[in-house]
């Protein structure tokens, strides 16, 4: 389970949630006459399992969404034209760099030699990446509910401070 703890899942609840999720997924597969292996499709659990639900109920085929959206918006051309790239996420960590949209924007922009700023509620990277500047917008010790409700103001303040230093 990669993202559960990021969203507040306590370690002591992880096994029970995993078991219940597997039970419900098996029921869904059985109901729609789909193979149980469907649950092991990479990406099936992302975004609350909506991909799994669509694959089971509507026989949808899972495609990498980022590539589709990137082509629609001509992302590589836009990155090429940019002086600086700014992106963000609720929590930016190593998992962000492994297939999530903001991390893919970061990797593509850095590959083009762009400076990249990531603004996030929390930042937890294990390493320094040349050209990448991360900014935690939530003040230390802020409770989650306050961090979420105050995010627009925290983001605005952080961006203003960061860009005025340039």
Write out the chain's pLDDT in tens, 166 residues. 667 777 788 899 989 988 998 899 999 999 999 998 998 888 887 666 888 999 999 999 887 788 889 999 999 999 999 999 999 999 999 989 987 899 999 999 999 999 999 999 999 998 999 999 999 999 999 998 999 999 999 999 999 999 887 6
> What pLDDT is recorded for position 48?
63
Cβ neighbourhood burial of 37 (10 Å; 0-12, 13-18, 19+):
exposed
State how far the Cα of 51 lies from the Cα of 83, in Å rounded to an integer.
36
Provide the pLDDT for residue 98: 86
Helix (H, G, I), strand (E, B) or coil at 94: helix
Domain range 72-164, CATH architecture:
3-Layer(aba) Sandwich (3.40)
pLDDT of residue 5: 78
Both structure tokens of 156: 């605005």
Beta bridge partners of 124: 93
Taking the C-alpha atoms of residue 31 and residue 136, their distance in angstroms, rounded to an integer, is 44
Residues in the chain: 166
Domain boundaries along the sequence of the chain = 5-58, 72-164
Nearest to 102 by CA among 115, 90, 111: 90
pLDDT at 27: 95
């Amino acid at each position: 389970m990669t993202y559960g703890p990021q969203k507040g899942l306590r370690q002591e609840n992880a096994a029970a949630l995993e078991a219940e999720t597997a039970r419900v997924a098996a029921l869904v597969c059985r109901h729609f006459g789909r193979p149980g292996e469907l649950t092991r499709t990479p990406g099936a659990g992302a975004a609350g399992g909506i991909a799994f639900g669509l694959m089971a109920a509507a026989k949808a085929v899972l495609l990498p969404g980022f590539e589709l959206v990137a082509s629609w918006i001509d992302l590589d051309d836009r990155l090429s034209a940019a002086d600086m790239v700014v992106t963000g996420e609720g929590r930016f960590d190593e998992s962000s760099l492994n297939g999530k949209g903001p991390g893919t924007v970061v990797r593509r922009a850095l590959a083009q030699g762009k400076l990249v700023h990531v603004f996030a509620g929390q930042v937890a990277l294990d390493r320094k990446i040349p050209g990448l500047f991360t900014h935690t917008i939530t003040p230390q010790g802020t409770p989650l509910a306050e961090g979420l409700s105050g995010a627009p103001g925290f983001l605005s303040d952080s961006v203003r401070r960061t860009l005025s230093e340039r």
